[in-house]
Amino acid sequence: MSEVTAPVAGLRPEFQPARRPARGHVRLRTLLAIRWVAVVGQAASLFFVNVVLGYPIELVPAALVIAALAVATLVPQVKRKANARLTDRESALYFAFDMVQLTVLLGLTGGLHNPFSLLLLAPVTVSAAALSYRSTLGLTALAITCVNVLAFFHLPLPWPGGLFDLPPIFVFGLAIALGLAVVFISVYVFKVAEESRRVTDALMAVQSALDREQRINSVGALAAAAAHELGSPLGTISLIAKEWTRDLPADSPYRPDAELLLSQAERCRHILAEIAARPEQSSKDHFHVLAAPLLVELAAEPFLRPSVALRIEAKSEGGEQDPPVMPRRPEIMHGLGNLLQNAIEFAKEEVQVVISWSRTELAITITDDGQGFPQELLARLGDPYISAALGRYGGKLVRSAVGGPKSSPDRRKGDHMGLGIFIAQNLLERSGGNVHFDNNEFGGAEVKVIWPRSALTEAHKE
């Protein structure tokens, strides 16, 4: 895991996952606060064992070890800003020092006989949750080394009479258990934290895609409104310019200016007419609900290719014959657009969209005659950033389809890491639909989106 998320190939900048800061995730103030707690806790433990319980202890060396931790905490607190964020390397060095300091203190107070030896797991756990794979691996190796050192080199555990001793086989087993615990916790916490970070990045990409779709809709509505509102004043300007041109003599010095004014007014009218005529910015924005076949056609329009036929079939599974209407919401348009672009780009000759409905639900099934989804990945479709599996199996899943440059139909490398399908699935599920991925009987891919009619009705009311 690197500290900065690498860009996803083929995605435009507005769809790239948010970059993690180049500096680490650990704030200096937090680390210093934990260290002061450790200093107070270690000093209180020594005082309790030596003074309250009266157990013999190497008090001076142990106190010096605790003082070293206090000094190592005080120096950065004085020299650096408390709200500074540590780099990955700095955080690892801080944790390594804490681990070595704790190991020395445990060595003076019984080694693995001391029940506080479990605290060696703390730096590794924090590293696995916040630092890079390299730092976590290094701290894990250091923790295992410290456990083995404490198993063989330590002073007796403070005890009345100094007679407490555990069988060597028990100490050996405890060392193995702690070592395995270090490895298990570091791997487990790192995997869970990394998965959480990946899902967070992918959800940010979903929100970015939705925000962009909403901005496009807003700009389209604004352009259509501007074309409508500016039509009347431009008509008046054109009329006056025509009258001036007609009334001015041919040799008048003002005639060229009047003709220029007339030509520019006509040019403005043509530009506004083109804006108003664009279906993606005008006709779509004037209709907040559309018949399902028309909505699918509009969603697929930007991605059509001459070599691939798009066939849309509507069929009723009940008494209602007219196709139901769907709200032209950004998440529906963008989600369907992603799936349709994916199908069109990897189809050989044809993409078929079947729209079926009953009284209770509406289903849109998108199939193509391409190579289909790899069987090994069908169960993982919808997971973001599955780059390793994509690189191993290839397949249709690789197309991100979030507005980036179109790839060739035969490209099958895993450079998009499943982010596009994750975005489409999340956007469509946000609208109340359920997305199912499969391969059809001819080997091509099949994606089915099912909405309860009630969900579409509620969306229409919003």
Phi, psi of 192 (to 5 degrees): -65, -45
Distance CA 159, CA 203 (A): 55
The residue-averaged pLDDT of 362-371 equals 91
Amino acid (one-letter) located at 108: L
Closest CA to 108 of 65, 161, 49: 65
Distance CA 165, CA 387 (A): 52
Q: What is the DSSP string of 300-367?
A: HGGG--TTSEEEEEEEESSS--SPPEEE--HHHHHHHHHHHHHHHHH-SSEEEEEEEE-SSEEEEEEE
The residues near 378 (Cβ < 8 Å, ≥ 6 apart) are: 437, 438, 439
Q: What is the pTM of this model?
A: 0.52
pLDDT in tens, 405-433: 333 334 333 334 466 787 788 888 888 88
Kindly list the distances between the CA atom of residue 387 and the CA atoms of 21, 372, 378, 395, 416, in Å, as whole numbers in the listed order.
Answer: 22, 18, 14, 12, 8
The residue-averaged pLDDT of 98-114 equals 91
Closest CA to 130 of 82, 192, 45, 182: 192
Residues belonging to the chain: 462
Pull the structure tokens for residue 119: 């605290």
CB atoms within 10 A of CB 138: 17
Range with the poorest average pLDDT among 4-13, 163-172, 227-236, 297-306 = 4-13
Residue bearing tokens 């895993």: 414
**Percent of the chain beyond pLDDT 70?**
75
Using the predicted structure, report yes or no on whether residue 440 has a pLDDT greater than 50: yes
Distance CA 97, CA 90 (A): 11
- CATH number for the domain whose boundaries are 289-461: 3.30.565.10
